[in-house]
Structure 1
């Protein structure tokens, strides 16, 4: 494919799955001869994703702050597109898609591709520009919402960097006082109510309490609004068990040592996939109390089509999770078999190289289309309805 100058609009600067996916894909595009530049709206506190991108030799252009007016952010996005000579804009998630639509993509001047890696379709995305979904289960919903060009490109895993032996897991265990003969459960997540990520961590803390197994330790790596409550619950469980069974150390810019150190990984989405890439057995978290061991059998395709997520009955049962964990904790051979199978499975389906190739093919298809404002104008009423009053929209459009 001929080189492409692509402007990548990140949804935010948190160490979330979609943002890390965007950085990994941009780096791989750069290594293949393309010219990506990254853009994001500023945040109030630290922006660790900027450091992650810099570690890959990528610059993130940050505009404004969390409360900056939409128009200011979009004007800066437009100036960056002009300075860069961008041929295509790749918007990650809903806010970035809206900024792109009303910014450099206005009147169809710059083609825009939007990627949405959520688990439930949202309205307010432009319907006449290409939309990439990460879950096969959402393709029907995307079309039902009126999207004309929907593709499935599942979230990538950097199976070269996320691989057994690439980082020092033993050092992570020593740093946190975890003995070689202890069994470590690891969760790497953002501790936020969205997608019930915090609920999965809370459920696992309670499962550790019920296991009451002196060999078992749990580490929850990550931060977010629910961190203080989780730390308080961990302290109560540790006091009850009389030992430091649960650790909540906070975020890591590079969480790979936690995956490498683990005996079992628990989580959802990209975190679960990374656990598999490190050849660890994985217990998948989901909504409404869902937990399941990821193993060969009937759950493989549903987990894949939902990007390692599930939907429970509403009963959040620590006993059921403890029942799933106990056989894994007691059987090192089964852990090894599941780890080897999981590594092979994720490399075959979710490797960064194959996902980047899929995006290259989409870019080529979009750039081969004739430019025009027709599709942009067909979305205008819908986009105004979801974000602006009519007078504000007309001012934004310069009318």
Structure 2
């Protein structure tokens, strides 16, 4: 197959990193894979994997008729058989670039915590958790039940696939070198050798993650006089000033450098490997498991929960995230427990490594992705694509854009409801 992979962005982030790594793994199965995207740090990762990269302009509407025309011309010129968009705007563009063709299929992967309801029901879709898949199927079933059986469209559960975020277990594994990372950020003082490093790797943005990071800063600052804890925050973004200010207060209370901000790292593997305990959500949480350390899953509204054999069932269903909890009190309880019990830390690290190895390997995900592509091609060749889905999608996108513009005019936050484009600050 000739596959064109289209990530929604190329800044450091879980969805786009999955897109690039999975593109390389599918190529390794014997397919021709090209990546098309705007510029960004992850373009170098594409190059390092030996994949061809085609560039889109950063300043463009999302979704855009111009991008759809560009995709169509590439299909004609290069013979692409599959166009794979990550998150909803590339997914919509891939759909309209291919919908009049029976020799080309579009697929879409959504790794966000919700799926835009206006995505076409006849678009091959992959989502990251069983809970989200069930939600999409229920939504589409209700929509189908409320529609006249003569109005077109269809409800096909086989079009909604579960593809959990994969982890490259060759690149991410215990024993990754940490000496340079520790030296660069002042973490290698022999006097601090007894400290347990709680490491979080994330974008420092107001949405989704900031609440948990600030709570962690406060909790470690309060516990640092009593327990050998140090928080290492790896990342950058518009909320960095808030985190720095809170960290300064925490360090003053602790009487030592209990919270360290490293800034963003193009390759955060050394940070994960240097951790005694990791804190994270989504793809970052999964990637951290590959380094064999215990994981605290962070969510919103005070959610913190330790990954254990018992709690793993929840995360395997709903994803590596949660809503609601005891906030600082919950995190303090978890950290006290882990700090006091080295054997428990070791056992939980071993459990997490076994879990990610058995269920989230990149090689296994590539085989599943290949099957999704083949199924999408078979469907494209064998059936018509109802016009009602195209019309409904256009109407849904227009309505969504109008609502966002109205919110901006009223001065309310216009964060994207469905994906991490909200972190990039260049939406239209």
TM-score under structure 2 normalisation? 0.83
Which residue in 2 is equivalent to 1:29?
A: 26
1:67 Cα deviation after fit: 3.5
Q: For 1:334-357, what per-residue CA distance to the aligned partner results, in whole angstroms no more than 9, with x for missing partners?
A: 111111111011111111111111
Identify the match of residue 169 of structure 1 among 172, 178, 188. 178
What residue in structure 1 maps to residue 148 of structure 2? none
**Structure 1 residue 360 corresponds to structure 2 residue 397:** no
Flag the 1:98–1:337 CA change in 2: closer, same or farther, 3 A.
Answer: same
Q: 1:198 aligns with which of 207, 210, 216?
A: 210
Specify every segment of 5 or more residues in structure 1 that has no aligned partner in the other structure, as ranges: 390-399
- Report the equivalent of 1:262: 275
Map of 2:287 onto structure 1? 274
Change in Cα spacing, 1:370 to 1:243, as seen in structure 2 (3 Å) is closer
1:396 match: none
Report the equivalent of 1:135: 129
Partner residue of 1:293 out of 297, 306, 311: 306
Do structure 1's residue 87 and structure 2's residue 44 form an aligned pair?
A: no
Match of 2:50 among 57, 67, 91: 57
Alignment of 1:1-399 (within 5 A): 4-42=1-39, 47-68=40-61, 70-106=64-100, 110-146=104-140, 148=156, 149-165=159-175, 167-178=176-187, 179-194=192-207, 196-213=208-225, 215-297=228-310, 299-313=311-325, 315=326, 317-371=327-381, 374-388=384-398
Aligned length in residues: 377
Structure 1, residues 63-90: CA drift from partner, whole Å, max 9, x if none?
1223457122222222233333101111
1:376, distance to aligned residue in structure 2 (A): 4.8
Aligned-pair distance for 1:253?
1.0
TM norm structure 1: 0.89
Moved over 4 A (4+): 106-109
* SS class of match (1:36): strand
CA contact (8 A) 2:102 2:380 kept: no
Q: Is the 8 A contact 2:104 2:377 kept in 1?
A: no
Q: Please give the per-residue CA displacement for 1:211-242, whole angstroms capped at 9, x wherever unaligned.
A: 12462211111122222211221122223323
Assess if the C-alpha contact under 8 Å between 2:99 and 2:385 holds in 1: no
CA distance in 2 between counterparts of 1:143 and 1:180 reads 51
